[in-house]
Amino acid sequence: MFYVYVIQAIGQDGRFYIGRTGDLRRRLAEHNAGKSNHTKGSRWRLVYYEAYASAPLAAKRERRLKHDGRARRQLMERIRE
């Protein structure tokens, strides 16, 4: 399985990060250990994920969420409900 996930910073800023991985637990631990340049300096919690059967499908969805404002907006509305 491959996953597209959204994590949120715990604390004041509450920013979001969208990514993809083949091992969701390991990747979240890496984010919290500061092993990702984009997420260093914050604690993170998983707020949403989608599972895909193949890496290319997950990559396509991640790319769409990161570059298509409408898709991202719809996802964020879904998360905030």
| pLDDT score at 14 | 86
| pLDDT score at 66 | 95
Rounded CA gap, 42 and 1, in Å? 27
Over residues 14-36, the pLDDT tens digits come to: 899 999 999 999 999 999 999 98
Output the average pLDDT for the chain: 94
Q: Is the pTM of this model over 0.85?
A: yes
Rounded CA gap, 64 and 75, in Å? 11
Hey, what domains does the chain have and what are their CATH numbers? 2-80 (3.40.1440.10)
| pLDDT score at 8 | 94
pLDDT higher than 90, residue 12: no
